[in-house]
Amino acid sequence: MTKMIRVPDEYHAWVAAHNRDDETMFETLRRLTREPDPEELVGILSSEEVEEARAAAERFGGRDEDRLERAREAFEE
């Protein structure tokens, strides 16, 4: 089944600009909206940058859980 969606002209232009010669628009959207293949990321970050990113993710993750709990409590009141 095919569905049609409406997107702003600017978004369509952005997707079209990333469209590869051998791709349909659907294939381009799938590629752009999925997480990157881990093999494509090898070597991009140094070991130090990886450790910094992990530490930042851990700090953010904990803070996010606290915010979520406070939001739940606010809606329960």
Domain boundaries, the chain: 45-77
Question: Could you report the per-residue pLDDT of 5-14, keeping only the tens digit for each?
Answer: 898 999 999 9
Question: Could you report the per-residue pLDDT of 5-57, keeping only the tens digit for each?
Answer: 898 999 999 999 999 999 999 899 988 988 777 777 788 888 898 888 888 87
DSSP 35: P
pLDDT of residue 51: 87
Question: Could you report the per-residue pLDDT of 65-77, keeping only the tens digit for each?
Answer: 777 778 778 877 6
pLDDT of residue 18: 95
- The reported pTM is 0.44
What residue type is assigned to position 8 of the chain? P
Q: CA-based Rg of the chain, rounded to a whole angstrom?
A: 19
